[in-house]
Amino acid sequence: MEFYADDKVIVNPLRVKPQHLFELENNLVIYYTSTSRESAEIIRKQSKNVTDNKEKSFEAMHHLKEQARMMKEEMLKGHLAGMKLVKYSIMTFCKNDKWQKG
């Protein structure tokens, strides 16, 4: 997704080879954490952090954006192992709670 001024958004579908999607689907594990979050509240906090110029919040958003870009590249290449490394990096980042400490 690409975001521009005046609420313009461009969505480009990923052209992932079927065998890579199949491998990804067969290796995904989804589990229930019993933790719920109100998305509107998360967005409100993020918006406030941006308005307040909280540097750590900006760093966290840029860090997650970069990791999403890396995941996309690994997926397009069919590198499941590379995706696992990026996922581990995201999990470590979130576990350290850096993304919440505006």
Percent of the chain, pLDDT > 90? Answer: 5
Structure confidence at residue 82 (pLDDT): 72
Interatomic CA distance for residues 71 and 86, integer angstroms: 6
Structure confidence at residue 22 (pLDDT): 87
Percent of the chain, pLDDT > 70? Answer: 81
User: If 0-12 CB within 10 Å is exposed, 13-18 middle and 19+ buried, where does residue 34 land?
Assistant: exposed
Q: Kindly report, residue by residue over 3-44, the tens digit of the pLDDT.
A: 888 889 999 888 889 998 888 888 778 888 888 878 888 889
Residue 87: pLDDT over 70: no
Q: Which amino acid is at 94?
A: C
Interatomic CA distance for residues 40 and 95, integer angstroms: 22
